[in-house]
Amino acid sequence: MISARQLEVLSTVIEVGTTARAAELLAVSQPAISNMIRHTEDLIGFPLFHREHGRLTPTHEARHIAQEAQHLFMQQKRVESIVNELRGGTIGRLSIVATPSIGHGILPHVLSRFMEQRPKLQLSIELGSIDEINRRLVSGRADLGLSITPPRHSALSVHEVGAGRMMCVCPDGHELGLLDTISIADLNHVQHISYGTGTPLGQQIDKVFSERGLERRYFCEVRHTATALEMVRNGLGVALVDSFALIGQRHHGVTVRDTSPELPLNMHAVTSNLFPTSNLALRFQSFLADVLIGGPVQPGDTV
């Protein structure tokens, strides 16, 4: 079997005319070229060059082979470039499932920046509950899950990917907007949109309330922070919203304030142990982590 290297040497010698210049071009010594040519001729069984007056002139057969070899070199380069693109994560298919608050907040923002350097990427974005994230990951339909509350599943690996916190949002001009920091106790005295006690978010908030001997009171119960944020924007009341939902959003119409006490909240990247995690997914995960390490959104940020 004739090797790619042999074809490369053959082509180069034909191209540049002498073994010495071919050797220079291929960054090896001249005898290496001489030997390889002779070896190749022995292998294929007919001469590739005509030796005359101590010069080499390629035979028609050699030219024919070199011609055909060009296509092989093309293909070689193609494979090489695909390997490079796969390494750099600039190629491939990335399938993400995220909770709605992430999917509506930070995800499009980060994705658009991630895609800037990777125009060839194929994307698939799904939004869903923790259960949906679990299902898609264990069935291999998604590469990466993003969620605030980490799922518990033996076949899934969870990585903390960034720190955030709950923030209070109120409609512009709302009385709470006058304060720099809003105590959670204050929430009970205003029209307040919050999350069901059955939801992970609701439970986490409840825990803080009860630690302070408070009972959480709200006039409207929603499931997703995105919904709450939209209601606030329409002036229906105030709400606690995770900082991730605020990143990449224009805040016109709403005022964002820190809470007291702080309600820390981390974003988790989830991958399946049942399928190999694509290099691309890992790249996106660390890209996301890099963005989030800049710290959670600040009151007033428009990002």
Partner DNA sequence: GCATCTTTATAACTCAGGGTTATATCCATG
Partner DNA sequence: CATGGATATAACCCTGAGTTATAAAGATGC
Binding site for DNA (CB under 7 A): 3, 5-6, 9, 17-20, 23, 27-32, 34-39, 49, 51, 53-56
Place of tokens 């073994």: 19
Query: What is the DSSP secondary-structure string of 125-158?
Result: EEE--HHHHHHHHHTTS-SEEEESSPP--TTEEE
Give the binding range for a second copy (CB under 8 A) out of 27-35, 85-93, 146-154, 188-196.
85-93
Selection from DNA, a second copy, none that 54 binds (CB < 5 to 8 A by kind) is: DNA
Q: Compute how many other C-beta atoms are within 10 angstroms of the C-beta atom of residue 42.
A: 8
Of positions 39, 93, 113, 217, contacts a second copy by CB under 8 A: 93
In terms of Cβ atoms closer than 10 Å to its own Cβ (0-12, 13-18, 19+), residue 221 is: middle
Q: Which residues pair with 257 in a beta bridge?
A: 168
Token pair, residue 15, equals 């191209």
Judged by CB under 8 A, does residue 278 bind a second copy?
yes
> Nearest-5° angle of CA 209, CA 212, CA 215?
45
C-alpha to C-alpha distance for 206 and 182, rounded to whole angstroms: 16
Question: Distance between CA 33 and CA 56 in Å, rounded?
Answer: 12
Least distance CB 90 / a second copy (angstroms): 12
35 binds, among a second copy, DNA, none (CB under 5 to 8 A by kind): DNA
Asked if 244 interacts with a second copy (CB under 8 A), we say no
Check binding of 60 to a second copy (CB under 8 A): yes
Cα radius of gyration (the chain) = 31
Instruction: Return the one option of a second copy, DNA, none that residue 122 interacts with (CB less than 5 to 8 A, by type).
Output: none
Assess 32 for contact with a second copy (CB under 8 A).
no
46 part of the interface to a second copy, by CB under 8 A: yes
Whose Cβ is closer to a second copy: residue 80's or residue 290's? Answer: 80
Chain residues binding a second copy by CB under 8 A are 1-4, 7, 44-47, 49-50, 52, 57-61, 64-65, 68-69, 71-72, 75-76, 78-80, 82-83, 86-87, 91-93, 273, 275-276, 278-280
